[in-house]
């Protein structure tokens, strides 16, 4: 079972927002009541994300590693011929 944190915050407009994170983990990455930093676009506060490294950089890191692996494999195959 994976746990996706939900968090509540007040936007610049003074309204309260509750958002469920798109990143789920097991074991849970946060404790109930823990204060976290939140990033959001002022025009769209409901798209807020938790401000931690993997929330923002997971996909780019995975694609960069896969790209490097495939590029290396392609280079080695071309050199072999």
Collect all residues with Cβ–Cβ distance below 8 Å to 25 and sequence separation of at least 6: 2, 3
User: Which letter, b or e, does each residue of 33-72 get, where b requires 16 or more Cβ atoms within 10 Å of its Cβ?
Assistant: eeeeebebeeeebeebbbeeeeeeeeeeeeeeeeeeeeee
Q: Note the pTM of the prediction, 2 decimals.
A: 0.61
pLDDT above 90: residue 71: yes
Radius of gyration of the chain (CA): 19
**pLDDT tens digits, 20-63:** 887 788 888 888 888 888 898 888 888 888 888 877 888 899 99
Is 54:23 a contact under the CB 8 Å cutoff? yes
Residue with tokens 């936007």: 11
């Amino acid at each position: 079972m994976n746990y996706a944190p939900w968090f509540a915050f007040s936007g610049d407009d003074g309204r309260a927002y509750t958002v469920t994170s798109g990143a789920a983990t097991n074991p849970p990455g946060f404790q109930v009541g823990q204060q976290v930093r939140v990033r959001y676009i002022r025009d769209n506060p409901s798209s807020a994300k938790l401000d931690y490294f993997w929330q923002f950089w997971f996909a780019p890191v995975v694609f960069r590693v896969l790209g490097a692996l495939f590029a290396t494999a392609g280079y080695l195959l071309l050199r072999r011929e």
